[in-house]
Amino acid sequence: MNSSINPSPGAARRRCLRIVAGVASTLAVTSLAVVLTPQAAQAACGDRPSYNAEAVLSGSTWTARNSGRTVYTGSDMRAAVQAAIGSLTAGRTSTQWVVVRGSGTVSANSRISLASYTGIDVCGTITVSGSGSGDQAPIYARGVRDIEVRYLTLRGAPLYGIFMRNVTNVILGQIDMRLSGGLGIRIDNHGDRSVRSRNIRIDNVYVEGAPNQGVETYGVDGLTIGTVTARRVGYSGLLLNDTWNATIGTVDAENTGTGTGYAAFRMANRNGRVSSSYPVNIRVGTVKARGGGRGIFCVSESGGAVIDRVDIASTGNNSVLIENCYNVTIAAVSGTVNGGGEMRIAARTEFPPSSNITFQNLTVSNTNIRWSPCTGTNNVVRNVTRVNSSLYWC
């Protein structure tokens, strides 16, 4: 096994603190977790007792080391980080750790690839430049297991900020993406329902400015998310496709999917369909939406979902649209919908109509509640206070 690299006393903390100098730290408390914003949490980056390898910037030179052995020296951040990862013990069955100390630029047409049993702290900012094609990402993993990205701050226009396919046992910690292009985080399984990405945990992600999705999953079994904060994202803040057994703390979105049919929180492509009876396996603590497109959108044979609390206002499209979905409860605990488009249960003809949908424990103001067309069964509105709001129910 490789011996560990210990930070010099206080050095790691000083470097990380400089990254966030001048940025106000905030603390948000949700019903499921205490969540630090990525800027505040970044102050702890690099504070593990030891690391197996490191990539460090001094002046304009990156140096990657493992156990006192230099494995890279040069100006290329991506090459330095990849060399540090590559220097870890081959065939390992327990996690080894890499720390990145410094900020730099990587090409959009490149990857930092994580092998199995790898953890990484990026104590700096990765800026993505140029253009590319395919599934390139500054943090990339495919066909691997037991990986952890505790800290990542990303800028620029990546194709994907983080791209992972056919992975198992993944932890993404404090992720801060303020982008001008691409998609924030995508975790998928390449469309094979029999081989799914499994046991994915995302603690706290902030995505701003991405013209695509903020966070998207496809073909995942076992997903836990603390908070997704989306600002000015082109499509959905959080999109779950064909994902099973998910627990989400908070989706907090402003101006996501503006002018589109996307939503702060969207479920699609048989999301939650673990069996034909649609047992509840998607649980969401809070969805908050301000402006943008839709607030909540469930479509294309998805379901088995309970959203405890909703706080939706001024959406440009439907505040809530349930279209060909099954066994979905909106506001199991409480909620408010104010303005924006209608709350609606709808159906297309290519799928069975929406059934077993419940809207409850809500105050709905300045928008209507509608079930149209009148197909499907067992759809219920109860304990709903309407203010300047009409109910059109079958």
Q: Which fold has domain 11-348?
A: Pectate Lyase C-like (2.160.20)
Separation CA 255–CA 61 (nearest Å): 40
3-state secondary structure of 2: coil
Residue 60 · residue 76 · CB < 8 Å? no
Angle formed at CA 238 by CA 237 and CA 240, multiple of 5 degrees:
150
CB burial of 30-40 (b: ≥16 within 10 Å; e: otherwise) equals: bebbebbbbbb
Structural Rg of the chain based on CA atoms: 22
- In whole angstroms, give the CA distance from residue 207 to residue 106: 19
Tell me the pLDDT tens digit for each residue of 310-368. 999 999 999 999 999 999 999 999 999 999 999 999 999 999 999 999 999 999 999 99
44-100 pLDDT, tens digit per residue, is: 899 999 999 999 999 999 999 999 999 999 999 999 999 999 999 999 999 999 999
Residue 51 vs residue 17, higher pLDDT: 51
Q: Which residues contact 306 (CB under 8 A, 6 or more apart)?
A: 280, 282, 283, 284, 328, 329, 332
Q: Distance from CA of residue 354 to its chain's centroid?
A: 27
Is residue 20 very low, low, confident or very high in pLDDT (cuts 50, 70, 90)? very low
pLDDT for residue 37 is more than 70: no
Which phi and psi (to 5°) does residue 326 adopt?
-145, 135
pLDDT at 392 over 70: yes
What is the distance, to the nearest Å, from the Cα of residue 263 to the centroid of all Cα atoms in its chain? 14
Alpha-carbon gap, residue 155 to 126, rounded angstroms: 6
pTM of the model: 0.89
Sign of CA dihedral 76, 79, 82, 84: negative
341 vs 263: CA distance, rounded Å: 12
Answer whether 222's CB lies under 8 Å from 193's CB. no
Q: 19 phi and psi, to 5 degrees?
A: -60, -35
* Percent of the chain's residues with pLDDT above 70: 89
User: Which residues, listed in sequence order, are joined to residue 118 by a DSSP beta bridge?
Assistant: 96, 147
Residue 236 has pLDDT above 80, yes or no: yes
Residue 25: pLDDT over 60? no
Distance CA 130, CA 138 (A): 13
Q: What mean pLDDT value characterizes the chain?
A: 91
Confidence of residue 5 (pLDDT cuts 50, 70, 90): low
Residue 197 structure tokens: 């990405």
Instruction: Write down the domain spans for the chain.
Output: 11-348
CB atoms within 10 A of CB 132: 17
Going by pLDDT thresholds of 50, 70 and 90, the confidence category of residue 200 is very high
* The two three-digit tokens of residue 12, written as one number: 């790691």
Q: Count of alpha carbons within 13 Å of 355, Cβ hemisphere only? A: 11
Residue 17 reports pLDDT greater than 50: no
Q: How far is CA 246 from CA 36, 202, 222, in A?
A: 21, 11, 6
Rounded CA separation 359/393 (Å): 12
Cβ atoms of 39 and 84 within 8 Å: the answer is no
Pairing, β 61-66 against β 53-58 = antiparallel
**Angstrom distance (rounded) from CA 305 to CA 327:** 7
